[in-house]
Structure 1
Amino acid sequence: MATTVGGPDTLGDMNPLLEPSPLDHELPDFRNIDIAELVPTFRTALAAYDGEISAITGSQEAPTWENTMEALERSGQLLQRVLAIVFNYAATDATDEIIAVEETVAPELSAHHTRMMLNRDLYARVRAIPAQAEGSEEAALVEHWLRAFRRGGADLDDAGREELSGIDTRLAELSTRFGRNLMTSTADRAVLVAEEGRLDGLDDATRQQLRADAEGEGKDGWLIRLGLPSVQPILEDLRDAGLRREIAEASRARGSENNSDVVLEMARLRARRAELLGFDSHADYIAAEETAGSVAAVDDLLDTVTAAAVANAHGEYKRALDLATVSGAELSEPDGLGESDWPYWAARLRDEDLAVGTAELKKYFPLSRVLRDGVFFAAERLYGIRVTPREDLAGYHPDVTVWEVSEGEAAGGRSIGLLLTDLYARSTKRGGAWMSSFVSQNNLIGQTPVIVNVLNIARPAAGEEALLSLDEVTTLFHEFGHGLHGLLSDVRYPSLSGTNVPRDFVEFPSQINENWALEPEVLANYAHHVETGEQLPPELVTAVMAEARWGQGFATTEYLAACRVDLAWHRLSTAQAAEVTDVAAFENAALEDAGLAVPGLAPRYSSTYFNHVFSGGYSADYWSYLWAEVLDADGFQAFVDTGAAGAEHPDPEDVRFAGERFRRMILSRGATIDYDDAFWMFRGQQRSVEPLLERRGLAGA
């Protein structure tokens, strides 16, 4: 039982966060967590962390590995437990009570982090640690902390430290406000349809789901909720051009009522923060931390892909417009396809090209089979692990399922950790998909991982199975790729564990894992008709493979447009940022300058609803997905070369050999490796962008 701990507020004596959870793998005891106690527990955790740091800096002994580096890595355990709860709940069940907790915690946490990074005594002790063996985990840990101190302002004078502290606190407040504003705006702008006739094109299951969503909010009609990206998937099916336009306008307007000022202030503060730390811009500050190394290297990659992507997008636009014209369709724009028209007519063109509709394909992708017989099956083949349900353990919400991940029998069946899956959309849940953790693997304290995979799949009608689009299938594999990075980590120090790697490398394992969704043996194992159990027939296998490459001009261009919007905001100097007053005009100019202003095509995310960069930790870094895809498209060839991929029935020993190699060289190593060297060793050669262009159908465009 947890005992009462004194602090800034009174804590209940049954507070389960005060001590490590007694449940398997330290899974939090969600049933006994009291939201009202989170803020006082957080403040107690800050005080405890301060005490641990003071014990390190106040030591009369000379700095040693044990009394400085290992003591630093052991510190902050209570804080980690509290923050894992706060930020998970804020993303997955953002009630008014949780929002109030996050708004209190975020600025106080930021101020505390800044104070720690500016702690001269702690910085001095870390700098006094003798050089460690090159390539060792110890050397990586020292470099991690020294880099964090330098980038956190430890070398600034007193005036600079004070200014930096104020900026960090304000940015934390604004980031939280942006996310809250966006969630509210997204919910408020959901489109309520009063007449069922306007839903022509939607199947019965989708209509039932929209009806249930409306009833759940006490409304009469059919409620169309909005997802994070600009283009809402439902636009592909709705025949009513007016309703499509209404949905597209609602999507593009999100955050416009209150996030424009937040964006402007954050851009100015980030620019000033970068200058304080000796960088020309926030984009330069971010790129220096990534494997890319510089904004120039990022520009080179984006420029290499842009011309081909835009050329293909124009070709796709013309084909879709031709089909709409021949069909005599009503369009939302008088001179061509608007943002609400292109998705619909592109989908009709895709149905013609592939000779099968997406609704029919989805029947072969029931969620339970995709997860168990696809995602988990692929990992079991590759890494020799087993994933089994733990019905005796509770998640943080009724939608959450807890799974145990264990080594296979050949490795003794040892339990590795826990996976929590939270897959259905909720009105209180942030859009998108992500992986996070409640506990990170490390051998120093002896902790095993507790990983969370979150998606936003539409909840099916009662008694029915959720059917996934190919994009959703890929997303499920992608997020479990992140999960594997956390679950299969095998390092000593928490700071270097699992996904604690640069953004442009963290997406490498997740994107590698996407490939297994369409590997013949894996696809054959999970793609079975939801009603008949029939395996996906050969002609539909061909259609699935073709769909994965279809429409890449549009998809790549909308992604590149978002990258350029992100970089445009974050390569501004302080003086330049001060001159920007119109968010929409700035964004449009950035797209024009980058050659990405394509008619009828919006960036995947526009500024006022670009959660990744103004509330999600990807500022000046949204390009990292493409950088990682270069690694993925080229790196996956290593699986093909060893016989683990590309064949209808690969030798199981070849699959296990390749999987074990990837696990040993990449997944288990966390941030203990030189990333370029690790890729070279795994792939056998330096990365090339050509496989990416081939995959996206852009080579020679």
Structure 2
Amino acid sequence: MKKIYTVALVTILFAACKDGKTNTETTTKNTMNTTENPLLVASKLPYGAPDFTLIKNEHFKPALKQGIAAQKAAVEKIVNNTEAATFDNTILELEKSGTLLQSVQNVFYGLTGAHTNDDLQAVQEEMAPKFSELQDGIYLNDKLFKRVKELYVKRDSLVLDPESYKLLETYFEAFEKAGANLSAADKEKLKTYNTKLATLTTAFNKTLLAANNDGALVFMNKEDLAGLTESQLKSLENKDGEGWKIPLLNTTQQPLLQSLEKRATREKIFMAAFNRADGTKNDTKDIITKIAELRAKKGALLGFKNYAEWSLQGTMAEKPENVFTMFNGLIPAATTKAKNEAEEIQKMIAKNGEDFTLAAWDWNRYAEMVKKEKYDLDESAIKPYFEIKTVLEKGVFYAAEKLYGITFKERKDIPTYHKDVMVYELFEENGDQLGLFYADYFARPSKRGGAWMSNFVTQSHLYNNKPVIYNVCNYPKPAEGDEALLTYDEVSTMFHEFGHALHGFFANQEYPSLSGTAVARDFVEFPSQFNENWALYPDVLKNYALHYKTGEQIPQALIDKIKKAGTFNQGYSLTENLAASNLDMKWHTISPDFTISSASAFEKDALHNTKLDVVSAVPPRYRSTYFAHIFGSGYAAGYYSYLWTEMLHHDAYNWFENNGGLTRENGQRFRDMVLSRGNTVDLEAMYKNWRGSDPKIEPMLKARGLK
């Protein structure tokens, strides 16, 4: 997932952050009385990376407030300029206005997501409405919009270079989308909505983190955990007392259910995850209901039928109807395949001498048995070949080197925010510096659930900035002294998130607002999903799939089994994804006068009315109450993006397969024509120009086993 912070609309549109030594130094010199705050002076580390040896909790609030003040002053200067509006004195100055604030926010949001604490959460709660008010003060400013509009109207006569032209268009569209054309009274109402939404979103994230942590289960009887290896048990030893502590991941299904033999234990863990934020002290139902109803009112105020219709402006899908059309085309095939899979699993339960009806907490365990019987493939036989650092360096990095010529060097001299974080420096094929990469892979209580990519520093020629990028995952941390071995799904996630990172590293833009991953939500997942394909590419797999004890290369017979099982369980996988995506769209297509009397009933009806509950053992990947993508991040009315871009990534990989596969020539062409373009060109045209045709859905259907 590309992490998108949503203090307001503009933060969604401009996911890239504005960093720069020059502007930061100027702002600091002109407005600060002290240089004691490391967030307010240029970092002395390579690439301007944040110096976590100096940054303390108490530095953030004053730095954020200083950043807000600096941006307000810069905007006021633009508005009060008596000279006629020009690109330089309006658009360029607006682009530069938030440099200090964004550089502080990059670090702040990095920590609040990956390593938060009570102090940071308190700052987040206090500052969220202030960030919203700041954005409204900019994008609902009549005088500022007048200057932007004057330039937009005569844009074709301004003789701008293509990227500057695109920046002007992007700002104008952002102003319009934000409500710049509303009446004064409606603008005040919108400001109220935005402030409330910022506060509610922050409250949701804080409550969900507590729900994830408090939902962890402690088992005192080792027999209850039968099926887990001694290594797994050792890693789960309760550091707060006796017994074994099972943490909750952000998804509905929990990885350990695949191994646990006792059905009562599986049910207990599943229900703890399923109800973590429903009926507990960390209940989020009231919060998400308020968010959905406020968003509906916001959409209506801005002239749309619902929030989704407003939100989908500028995306490839364009409108909710197109998203639902995609769902309707996939649901019958997905649920039919899931039904067939459920029947196979039910037979396996009986074959195993057990007599019960398949439930969600049984699926993973008995599906694994079916896979072993059908394909002679056992997950436990695969994991020894997927040691985490070997996967990263000899798999993820190796594929990037073969495709794009880039190389990597670990930097143990760069300070990090947690001891588990690794740092690498990236170099171009000719030896030129490319950027810094932070890898933060292990779960911990201070980290929100899921996996994501974001920037500490965003690429920009305007500020001569090279990217500093981080990937965050939530892999279970092994016990001290044990190796960290990954499942294949976790390997795929590592490739996925580094695909986002490559999109950021290869950015080649003047302006940070158009740089790298600052693209539509239903395109941003394309480079990341596409990069997953290299995890099973023969040359790559053989290079990194080495037994952690012997160094033996993964046997070809095992590779063949993995590939043969590629379409296994795809009915379940697609249905759980469709269920979550559908929930997202249903929450965000309610009308402004619709009252949600019960969040649970709304969720149940949303699944039933679209026939996504026909296989009761397949729950949504996320229940509404812990759906952080849509209630705590920037994917509201946007979770469909994963399915939308899935078609692109399978189609793109099909092109590679038909044109020589993993070669430097193919990689360079993809980098030059797609990964390096940021948001500077029309995305559909960009893809078609690279591909030579419109994307086709057949490769996706084949990969899913639906054709």
Distance apart, 1:176 and its partner CA: 0.8
Q: 2:293 aligns with which of 268, 290, 298?
A: 268
Q: Structure 1 length normalisation: TM-score? A: 0.94
Q: Residues 113-152 of structure 1: CA distance to partner in whole angstroms, max 9, x if unpaired?
A: 1111101121111122231469921221111101110111
Distance apart, 1:482 and its partner CA: 0.2
Q: 2:394 aligns with which of 357, 363, 373?
A: 373
Aligned to 2:114: 92
SS at match of 2:385: coil
Aligned to 1:651: none
Once the two structures are superposed, the pairs formed by residues 618-633 of structure 1 within 5 Å of their partners are 618-633=635-650
Aligned to 1:518: 536
Aligned to 1:353: 374
Distance apart, 1:453 and its partner CA: 0.5
Alpha-carbon distance in 2 for matches of 1:134, 1:630: 35
Q: 2:664 aligns with which of 647, 652, 656?
A: 656
Aligned to 1:278: 303
Alpha-carbon distance in 2 for matches of 1:351, 1:326: 14
Aligned to 1:29: 51
Alpha-carbon distance in 2 for matches of 1:2, 1:516: 42
**2:171 is aligned with 1:140:** no
Aligned to 1:389: 410
Distance apart, 1:549 and its partner CA: 2.2
Q: Which amino acid aligns with 1:318?
A: E
Aligned to 2:8: none
Once the two structures are superposed, the pairs formed by residues 30-109 of structure 1 within 5 Å of their partners are 30-109=52-131
Q: Residues 577-621 of structure 1: CA distance to partner in whole angstroms, max 9, x if unpaired?
A: x2x111111111111111110211110001100011000111111
Aligned to 2:486: 468
The runs of 5 or more residues in structure 2 that have no matched partner are 1-23
Q: Residues 28-83 of structure 1: CA distance to partner in whole angstroms, max 9, x if unpaired?
A: 11110121121111111100111111111211221112111221222211101111
| Residues 216 and 246 in structure 2, CA contact (< 8 A), matched pair in contact too | yes
SS at match of 1:420: strand
**2:189 is aligned with 1:163:** yes
Alpha-carbon distance in 1 for matches of 2:178, 2:25: 35
| Residues 558 and 602 in structure 1, CA contact (< 8 A), matched pair in contact too | yes
Alpha-carbon distance in 2 for matches of 1:613, 1:7: 39
Aligned to 2:510: 492
Q: Which amino acid aligns with 1:193?
A: F
Aligned to 2:7: none
| Residues 7 and 47 in structure 1, CA contact (< 8 A), matched pair in contact too | no
Q: 2:316 aligns with which of 291, 298, 301?
A: 291
Q: 2:627 aligns with which of 602, 605, 610?
A: 610
Q: Residues 428-459 of structure 1: CA distance to partner in whole angstroms, max 9, x if unpaired?
A: 11111000101110111111111010011111
Q: 1:419 aligns with which of 422, 426, 437?
A: 437
Q: Which amino acid aligns with 1:391?
A: K
**2:602 is aligned with 1:586:** yes
SS at match of 1:422: strand
Aligned to 2:223: 197
SS at match of 2:423: strand
| Residues 440 and 447 in structure 1, CA contact (< 8 A), matched pair in contact too | yes
| Residues 388 and 484 in structure 2, CA contact (< 8 A), matched pair in contact too | yes
**2:226 is aligned with 1:188:** no
Shifted more, 314-323 versus 250-259: the winner is: 250-259
| Residues 477 and 484 in structure 2, CA contact (< 8 A), matched pair in contact too | yes
Q: 2:331 aligns with which of 306, 315, 321?
A: 306
| Residues 39 and 60 in structure 2, CA contact (< 8 A), matched pair in contact too | no
Distance apart, 1:104 and its partner CA: 1.3
Aligned to 2:686: 678
Alpha-carbon distance in 1 for matches of 2:471, 2:316: 25
| Residues 2 and 14 in structure 1, CA contact (< 8 A), matched pair in contact too | no
Distance apart, 1:13 and its partner CA: 3.5
Alpha-carbon distance in 2 for matches of 1:68, 1:494: 16
Alpha-carbon distance in 2 for matches of 1:484, 1:46: 31
Change beyond 3 A, Cα 1:166–1:375: same
Q: 1:479 aligns with which of 494, 497, 509?
A: 497
The runs of 5 or more residues in structure 1 that have no matched partner are 646-654
Alpha-carbon distance in 2 for matches of 1:602, 1:357: 24
Q: How many residues align?
A: 676
The percent identity for this pair of structures is 39
Aligned to 1:435: 453
Q: Which amino acid aligns with 2:134?
A: H
Alpha-carbon distance in 1 for matches of 2:25, 2:706: 59
Aligned to 1:648: none
Aligned to 2:155: 131
Alpha-carbon distance in 2 for matches of 1:11, 1:193: 55
Q: Which amino acid aligns with 1:664?
A: D
| Residues 654 and 699 in structure 2, CA contact (< 8 A), matched pair in contact too | no
Alpha-carbon distance in 1 for matches of 2:448, 2:30: 32
Change beyond 3 A, Cα 1:328–1:7: farther
Q: Which amino acid aligns with 2:414?
A: L
Aligned to 1:634: 651
**2:598 is aligned with 1:595:** no
SS at match of 1:636: helix
Alpha-carbon distance in 2 for matches of 1:126, 1:22: 36
Q: Residues 370-414 of structure 1: CA distance to partner in whole angstroms, max 9, x if unpaired?
A: 000000000011111111111111122111111111101xx3x11
Alpha-carbon distance in 2 for matches of 1:172, 1:65: 31
Q: Which amino acid aligns with 1:594?
A: T
Q: Which amino acid aligns with 2:686?
A: A
SS at match of 1:356: coil
Alpha-carbon distance in 1 for matches of 2:29, 2:390: 49
Aligned to 2:11: none
Change beyond 3 A, Cα 1:6–1:672: closer
Q: 2:546 aligns with which of 516, 528, 531?
A: 528
Q: Structure 2 length normalisation: TM-score? A: 0.93
The structure, 1 or 2, with the larger RCO (C-alpha pairs under 8 Å, 6+ apart) is 2
Distance apart, 1:12 and its partner CA: 5.8
Distance apart, 1:22 and its partner CA: 2.2
| Residues 561 and 591 in structure 1, CA contact (< 8 A), matched pair in contact too | yes
| Residues 441 and 473 in structure 2, CA contact (< 8 A), matched pair in contact too | yes
**2:165 is aligned with 1:149:** no
Once the two structures are superposed, the pairs formed by residues 557-596 of structure 1 within 5 Å of their partners are 557-576=575-594, 578=595, 580-596=596-612
Q: 1:318 aligns with which of 343, 351, 372?
A: 343
| Residues 515 and 679 in structure 2, CA contact (< 8 A), matched pair in contact too | yes
Over aligned residue pairs, what C-alpha RMSD do you find? Answer: 1.8
Q: Which amino acid aligns with 1:167?
A: Y
SS at match of 2:425: strand
Aligned to 1:650: none
Alpha-carbon distance in 2 for matches of 1:556, 1:2: 49
SS at match of 2:401: helix
Q: Which amino acid aligns with 1:192?
A: V
Distance apart, 1:548 and its partner CA: 3.2
Q: Residues 178-226 of structure 1: CA distance to partner in whole angstroms, max 9, x if unpaired?
A: 1111110111111111111111111111111111xx12xx121000101
Q: 2:385 aligns with which of 355, 364, 370?
A: 364
| Residues 20 and 26 in structure 1, CA contact (< 8 A), matched pair in contact too | yes
**2:202 is aligned with 1:176:** yes
Q: Residues 296-331 of structure 1: CA distance to partner in whole angstroms, max 9, x if unpaired?
A: 211121111111110000000011011102222264
After TM superposition, what 4+ stretches of structure 1 lie above 4 angstroms from structure 2? Answer: 1-8, 132-135
Alpha-carbon distance in 2 for matches of 1:558, 1:2: 49
Alpha-carbon distance in 2 for matches of 1:480, 1:78: 27
Q: Residues 498-519 of structure 1: CA distance to partner in whole angstroms, max 9, x if unpaired?
A: 1000010000100110001111
